[in-house]
Chains A and B, each alone.
Chain A
Amino acid sequence: MNPARPVMRAAPPNDGFVTPVTRFFKRNQTALTPVLLLSPALLTMLFVVAIPLAFSLYTSLTPYRLTRPESIEIFVGARNYMRLLSNDDFWEAFLRTILFLAIALNVEFVLGLGIALLINKITWGQRTLRTIMMFPMMFSPILVGFQFKFIFNDNIGILNNALQSLGITDRAIPWLVDGKLAMFSIIFAEVWMSTSVFAILLLAGLFAMPRDPLEAAKVDGCNAWQTFRHITLPFIMPFAFIAMTIRSLDVARAYDIVAVMTDGGPAGRTELLWTMIARVGYENARMGQANAMAYISTILSIAFTYYFFTKLVAARRYMGGAE
């Protein structure tokens, strides 16, 4: 008797294999696709940002020094944070950072708005002007820092040369050597770099503005200021929030500028939170302390972004653009 050939079992009705897993996938296809599409992004952020941040949090609770690797295993609780809170240098740098951001962002907004209004009025050669306006946006922060280190140089800088040639002063003004002047120079560099971001986005807002309300206001007898205050400004505010949000994503790039221009000097007079982190962490190798500081600066940045993002969402809703 021939051994019976193995009986072919009937194939499952659909395509091949049905396991609980595939059935789950099939049933939840629409729900799972976005998860699948987003997973590479989430994995990247997890690996490069979330895990390091968790590690950073742990390290900030130890007295870790790069020169003593075993010190990472000692747990000291919040001692690093306590030490920061009672440290005058830290508070000075912290407040200076806040002040720096407040001044820079406000000046950038006002200047950007002014430039956008001017260019919006112009009919001939508008595109060319807009392209010229974007010029500073292409400079990397480190380049901006170097550029103004060159320009503000007390000996060979173009600024002092010009002031001396014009006979305004005959001495070399120590732009980057005097504490107050150095802070001014740094803010100047920061404003130069980022005003275009505001100008370009506010200009886009002005372009998108409907004509009717403006004409209605004119008919109703509003003067130029009233029209601007009550119609133009509210309309372009969402664009200002976009600019603020985009800027808030990388406010810390001012670190590059300061690092190359003064590196926190003279005598710590331009020290910002970010240069302090680099100094304590890498130069003094006190990683535990630096991580505590880094955590505070991270929370500051995140709060800043969160604030402007919620403003942006609210403005969108107001404009009826949201889903």
Chain B
Amino acid sequence: MSRDLKKRLRAAGLWVTTFVLMVIMCVPGLWVVLSGFRPNREILAKPPVWVPEELTLSNFGKIFGFGAEQVAIPVLSYFWNSMVIAMTSTLIALIIGMAGGYAFARFRFRFKNAWFLGLMLFRAVPGIALSLPVFMLWSRLGLIDTQMGLIIVYVSLNVPFTIWLIDGFFRQIPMSLSEAAQVDGCTRWQAFWKIEFPLARSGIAAAGVFAFLTSWNEFALASQLTRSTDSKTLPVGLMDFTAQFTIDWAGMCAMAVIIIVPALILTFLVQKHLIAGLTFGGVKG
């Protein structure tokens, strides 16, 4: 009996340790989120106010320009730009990535591994290094400070990794399913559309979320390729706060909440597939 008790105590101890560790890991993020709901004077208070005395939505009202006090930062248009750019580039990257991933998963062709590696190596180019020539070319093409300019860049940023993930998901589906459908009179396209696509759908959704987050969070390229409310995204807009003489911590935290919430929801929804996609696509190459 005492051995049993010891075992249980050890398990409980392990659980508490892990839980505390996880909480500590989350504290920095949660602190920023919490500060988004606190008035600036409480954040700046000396001595510090540990337990929030007042939670308010006024920071959000301020940065969106509701109410009497306004902050001169057009967060609403940044939000709109971010949404349009991230959604469009994700959609295009998914279509291109699905074609490419299918090719890698289902066909044999020469130098297949080399092609795959080549695509990945293109992705490895640092954003800030790529931004220099893209900046020079885009300014000649008139694509600087347009949503289109950023969308094109983000599509290419997302294609390699989307191919990696989707290739993995298609491999998980036995080839015999599509072959059986073709024996029964389906064309290859019908077999893909009616059998393989529905089976891989959740994985493709996960790849989409990954692509969306990459575009939603990107800063290095966006900060150089955007100028005004025409195309500035949320991460670039966040820097507007630091450019001022006094940093509006509360406003910045509120903006951080706006950036994090969509990412949080999306990741939570597809986390299972995300993990499966990352590991399967990678291991059983």
Interface residues of A (CB under 8 A from B): 30-31, 33-35, 37-38, 40-41, 44-45, 47-53, 55-56, 59, 115, 118-119, 121-125, 129, 131-143, 146-148, 150-151, 156, 158, 161, 165, 192, 195, 200-201, 204-205, 208, 238-239, 242, 245-246, 248-253, 255-256, 259-260, 274, 277-278, 281-282, 287, 290-291, 294-295, 297-298, 301-302, 304-306, 309, 312-313, 316, 319, 321-323
Which of B56-64, B174-182, B277-285 makes up part of the contact surface?
A: B277-285
One of A35, A278, A297 near B109 (C-beta < 8 A): A35
Give residues 44-65 of B contacting A (CB, 8 Å): 44, 46-48, 50
A295–B239 CB distance below 8 A: no
B48–A122 CB distance below 8 A: no
Which residue in chain B gives the minimum CB-CB distance to A64? B136
A242–B128 CB distance below 8 A: no
Bound form: Cα–Cα A41–B43 in Å: 48
One of B14, B259, B271 near A121 (C-beta < 8 A): B14
Give residues 179-236 of B contacting A (CB, 8 Å): 213, 216-220, 223-224, 235
One of B97, B119, B282 near A245 (C-beta < 8 A): B282
25 contacts between A and B (CB under 8 A): A31-B109, A33-B107, A34-B103, A45-B159, A47-B156, A53-B125, A56-B129, A125-B15, A132-B22, A138-B213, A143-B238, A143-B256, A156-B44, A200-B275, A245-B120, A255-B128, A259-B223, A278-B128, A290-B132, A291-B132, A291-B133, A294-B130, A301-B129, A305-B121, A313-B285
> What 3 pairs between A and B have smallest CB-CB spacing?
A140-B217, A252-B126, A48-B156
B26–A135 CB distance below 8 A: yes
With a cutoff of 8 Å between Cβ atoms, the chain B residues found around residue A245 in the complex are 120, 282
Bound form: Cα–Cα A55–B239 in Å: 29
Chain A's interface: helix, strand, loop or mixed, by majority? helix
A316–B283 CB distance below 8 A: yes
